[in-house]
Amino acid sequence: MSGPTCSRRSCASRVADAARTLGTSLPGYVAVYHRLTMSPPGLSVPAWYGVSSATRIVDGERFELMVRAAEAETQRLLGDADTCTATTTAIGAARAAALASLVGWTRRVVIGTLTDRMQPATPWELFGAAWIDCGPASGSADPWERDVQRKTCVTRATVGASPLPWPLPQPLIEATPRRYWRSPRRIAGAHALTLLASAAAVASWSAAENNEALLDRIGADLGGYSMIPAAHDNAKRDALHALVVDRDQLDRYARVGVPLRLAFGMYRGAQLLPALDTAIASYAPPPPPPAVVTLDSMSLFDSGRAQLKPGSTRAMVDALEMIKAHPDKRILVAGHTDNVGNPQSNLKLSTARAQAVRDWLIDVSGIAETQFAIQGYGDTRPIASNASDDGRARNRRVEITLVPDAPTTQ
Domain of residue 329, CATH code: 3.30.1330.60
Residues 229 and 301 in one domain: no
Most distant CA pair in the chain, distance: 167
Confirm whether 300 is domain-assigned: yes
Give the pLDDT confidence of 360-375 residue by residue, as tens digits. 988 888 888 889 999 9
pLDDT of 181 higher than 80: no
Confirm whether 1 is domain-assigned: no
- Predicted local distance difference test score (pLDDT) of residue 189: 83
Nearest to 358 by CA among 376, 380, 344, 385: 376
Confirm whether 408 is domain-assigned: no
Residues 227 and 340 in one domain: no
Confirm whether 308 is domain-assigned: yes
Distance, CA of 214 to CA of 185 (rounded, Å): 42
Higher pLDDT, 40 or 165: 165
Give the pLDDT confidence of 239-250 residue by residue, as tens digits. 999 999 999 998
Confirm whether 258 is domain-assigned: yes
Residues 59 and 196 in one domain: no
- Predicted local distance difference test score (pLDDT) of residue 1: 44
Mean pLDDT estimate for the chain: 81
pLDDT of 84 higher than 60: no
Residues 175 and 197 in one domain: no
Last residue of a domain, one of 181, 215, 230: 181
Residues 44 and 130 in one domain: yes
Q: 78 pLDDT band (50/70/90 cuts)? A: low
Residues 230 and 146 in one domain: no
Taking the CB of residue 225, how many other CB atoms lie within 10 A of it? Answer: 21
Amino acid at 16: A
- Predicted local distance difference test score (pLDDT) of residue 102: 84
- Predicted local distance difference test score (pLDDT) of residue 327: 83
- Predicted local distance difference test score (pLDDT) of residue 36: 82
Say which residues have a Cβ less than 8 Å from residue 257's Cβ, sequence separation at least 6. Answer: none
Domain containing 103 equals: 8-181
Nearest to 312 by CA among 360, 345, 242, 384: 360
Confirm whether 287 is domain-assigned: no
Last residue of a domain, one of 222, 253, 281: 281
Q: What is the CA 221 to chain-centroid distance, rounded? A: 26
Taking the CB of residue 172, how many other CB atoms lie within 10 A of it? Answer: 19
pLDDT of 42 higher than 50: no
104-118, 275-289, 321-335, 345-359, range with the lowest pLDDT = 104-118
- Predicted local distance difference test score (pLDDT) of residue 299: 81
Count: domains in the chain: 3
- Predicted local distance difference test score (pLDDT) of residue 22: 67
pLDDT of 92 higher than 80: no
Last residue of a domain, one of 250, 281, 312: 281
pLDDT of 407 higher than 60: no
Residues 250 and 269 in one domain: yes
% of residues, the chain, pLDDT over 90: 14
Higher pLDDT, 407 or 258: 258
Confirm whether 245 is domain-assigned: yes
Q: What is the CA 165 to chain-centroid distance, rounded? A: 64
Residues 82 and 129 in one domain: yes
51-55, 140-144, 178-182, 343-347, range with the lowest pLDDT = 178-182
Mean pLDDT for the stretch of residues 287-294: 75
Answer yes or no: are the C-beta atoms of 296 and 397 closer than 8 Å.
Answer: yes
Say which residues have a Cβ less than 8 Å from residue 355's Cβ, sequence separation at least 6. Answer: 306, 333, 374
Confirm whether 286 is domain-assigned: no
pTM: 0.41
pLDDT of 17 higher than 80: no
- Predicted local distance difference test score (pLDDT) of residue 375: 94
Higher pLDDT, 22 or 365: 365
- Predicted local distance difference test score (pLDDT) of residue 376: 93
Answer yes or no: are the C-beta atoms of 299 and 341 closer than 8 Å.
Answer: no
- Predicted local distance difference test score (pLDDT) of residue 238: 92
Residues 216 and 132 in one domain: no
Residues 243 and 270 in one domain: yes
Residues 335 and 276 in one domain: no
Say which residues have a Cβ less than 8 Å from residue 401's Cβ, sequence separation at least 6. Answer: 290, 291, 292, 293, 331, 332, 334
Answer yes or no: are the C-beta atoms of 385 and 339 closer than 8 Å.
Answer: no
% of residues, the chain, pLDDT over 70: 86
Distance, CA of 10 to CA of 33 (rounded, Å): 20
- Predicted local distance difference test score (pLDDT) of residue 152: 82
71-85, 147-161, 345-359, range with the lowest pLDDT = 71-85
Residues 158 and 55 in one domain: yes
Mean pLDDT for the stretch of residues 17-29: 74
CA triple 363-368-374, angle to 5 deg: 80
